Structure 1
Amino acid sequence: MKRRQLLLAGLLPGLGLAQAQPRVVSVGGAVTETVFALGAQGQLAGVDTTSLFPVDATRLPQVGYARTLSAEGVLALAPQLLLAGGEAGPPQVLAQLKRAGVRVEVLDEHHRFDGVVERTKRIGMLSGREREAQQFIAKLQQDWAARPKPPAGSLPRVLFVLAHAGGQLRVAGEGTAADAMLTLAGARNAFAGVQGYRPLTAEAALQAAPDVILCTDQGLEAQGGIDGLLKAPGLALTPAGRARRVAGMEALLLLGFTPRLPQALAELTGKLHGRAA
């Protein structure tokens, strides 16, 4: 009898019944975007502040910033499942949510297209949207195969600058989303050989000698546009700075490894190689 009740509730597979579709809190812009891509937004009880796309996500109850969650804020929305990107935390809050009976699933794409596919598949399974996930993955793989390829020849040296209002500018080394995107777009990271993000200094900028400076749209706006960004130490004296070769992209699209990754890569390739995306 108990098994039959669980089957009728959709909590166990069997008899061709639909899977359970749990009440979800989504943490991480790419995770939330995937939930929407699978048509599971009706299951969302809330999202974090990095969940900016699509715009409907910004209208949902918020649980704060992904890295600084509070158990109380999440539990107030009574979720059955927390779907979170690899940046979610702090760890003690995730552990507290588990103890409170919330299923916590951390999903990291590891800055790879295959990781995006695997994350989509996993979210489909956890949300009871496996069929939708399979259909979406098929389209995603088609778009990936059709993405523009970088032109043959020399690879532009690109310096990615992470800029925020009131904060110190940092440059991206290896092991970052920016580094992974530059590699996929057929460019060389001008700050290769260094792990993670490092503060921008005039010496580092001059030594990097980038052909192009890349920034997020939000970062450019925070710095007052290209003119403001080039006032940062050393940037105006680099080959990119002297030629004002500065490119910007929306932050989540550029760095999020979201379901729009083929679109992001097409746009970035066009910007870095001087042709329309």
Structure 2
Amino acid sequence: MTAPVLSPVRGPTRRTFLAASAGLVLSGRPASTAERRIVAAGGVITEILYALGRQDLLVGVDTTSLHPAEAMRDKANVGYVRALSAEGVLSLRPTDLLAVDGAGPPDTVKLITEAGVRVARISEDTTEAGVAARIRMIGRIADVADRAEALAARVEAGFAALKQQRDALAARKRVLFVLSLQNGRVMVGGARSSADAIIRLAGAVNAAETVEGYKPLTDEGLIAAAPDVVLMMKHNEHAASPEQVFGQAALSATPAARTRSLVAMDGLYLLGFGPRTPEAARDLMAAVYAGARP
């Protein structure tokens, strides 16, 4: 929702109306600090709060909050992370909005901030250090820094063990992440994407590293990518069968087609970059390289 341009008025402003409907003051602080009420905009935030045992603070989550399953069942739904509604969020009377960097739209977040809700932006950094820092930051916000430190340390140990497995690989396979197959266009995850990060963590080469971000790849580009394995998410519009994938003319000419090598994984598990990321990368490694499980 885009905030309207307001001319000077004598009656209540939109900001005042939103704040009043949420029971908040306009000083940038909640009306009462006795009870924390957090809305999470980003599945990784929800996952971390549950992992830290502070789901009691959550009053609302976005539609990417798919783990654990009870989050979407037990908490109010505030919509898609990139299409939030100020009214929907404020109706839950939150004291805090924890939002990943890509959450929005910006005008909505601005309205929420102006209504007196504390907004904390959570980095979507997909590096190993970024995952651990995200856990520690959310732990500080939720007043469980000690628990967060212990969880971050376990995650860092998982990454260290994963590195040992990567270093033991004799050769690196080429993996192509396919986000979607729509109208014959193959949307792939290139360099600097979350797909690129998880492929590298799993000890493989991103076959689409010549493009950046999530973009369609031409038939010539797909053939030149020569993936040994195609990787996809396994739910909703992102899912596809081997017949659908390798029925694409260009993909049928790749090494992956000859071996029917299609790996499908849960999207948040694969690309969420939360506490389960070392396990997700290890599972991907095991699927790409036979016998790679510890």
Q: Which category describes the TM-score, using the shorter chain as reference length? A: 0.7 to 0.9
1:201, 1:233 within 8 Å by CA — same for their partners in 2?
no
Partner amino acid, structure 1, of 2:244: G
Is residue 50 of structure 2 the alignment partner of residue 31 of structure 1?
no
Q: Tell me what 1:71 maps to.
A: 86
**CA RMSD, aligned part only?**
2.1
2:107 to 72, 92, 97: 92
**What letter matches 1:48 in structure 2?**
D
How far apart, CA to CA, are the structure 2 residues paired with 1:69 and 1:231? 37
Task: State the identity %.
Answer: 41
| Residue range with higher mean Cα deviation, 246-255 or 143-152 | 143-152
What corresponds to 1:135 in structure 2?
150
- Pair 1:166–1:99, CA change in 2 (3 A): farther
Q: Which whole-Å deviations, capped at 9, do the CAs of 1:92-125 have from their partners, x for residues lacking one?
A: 1111111011111111141111111111111111
User: Is 1:191 equivalent to 2:205 in the alignment?
Assistant: no
SS of 1:66 mapped into structure 2: coil
Which residue is 1:212 aligned to? 229
Q: In the alignment, what sits opposite 2:117? A: 102
Q: Does 1:54 pair with 2:68?
A: yes
CA distance in 2, matches of 1:86, 1:156: 32
Matched, 1:22 2:39: no
Q: CA deviation at 1:74?
A: 0.4
Q: Where do 1:1-277 residues align within 5 Å?
A: 22-59=36-73, 60-147=75-162, 149-150=165-166, 151-163=168-180, 168-218=185-235, 222-223=239-240, 225-275=241-291, 277=293
Unaligned runs of 5+ in 1: 1-9, 12-19
Native 8 Å contact 1:121 1:133 kept in 2: yes
CA gap 1:42/1:246 in 2 versus in 1, 3 angstroms: same
C-alpha distance in structure 1 between counterparts of 2:192 and 2:115, whole Å: 34
- The runs of at least 4 consecutive aligned structure 1 residues that moved more than 3 Å come to 164-169, 219-222
SS of 2:70's equivalent in the other structure is helix
Tell me the residue number matched to 1:16: none
| DSSP-derived class of the 1:275 partner | coil
Q: Report SS of the residue matched to 1:101.
A: coil
Aligned-partner Cα distance in 2 for 1:154–1:53 = 34
Structure-2 separation of matches of 1:110 and 1:245: 29
Q: How far apart are 1:146 and its partner, in Å? A: 2.8
Q: Offset at 1:152?
A: 2.8
- Take 2:97 and 2:238, find their aligned partners in 1: how far apart are those partners? 33
Given the superposition, is the C-alpha separation of residues 232 and 55 from structure 1 closer, same or farther in structure 2, using an over 3 Å criterion? same
1:15 maps to none
Contact 2:37 2:59 in 1 (8 A): yes
Secondary structure at the counterpart of residue 228 of structure 1: helix
Distance 1:205 1:166, change over 3 A: closer
Q: Give, as a single letter, the amino acid of the residue that structure 1 aligns with 2:239.
A: A
**What's the secondary structure of 1:198's corresponding residue?**
strand
Q: Which residue identity is paired with 1:258?
A: G
Amino acid at match of 2:210: G
Contact 1:109 1:118 in 2 (8 A): no
Partner in structure 2 of residue 7 of structure 1: none
Tell me which moved more, 120-129 or 59-68. Answer: 120-129
Q: 1:168 to 1:101 in 2, by over 3 A?
A: farther
| Aligned-residue offset at 1:231 | 2.0
> CA distance change for structure 1 residues 202 and 166 in 2, over 3 Å: closer, same or farther?
closer
Q: Which runs of 5+ in 2 are unaligned?
A: 1-31
The whole-number CA distance in structure 2 between the counterparts of 1:157 and 1:220 is 24
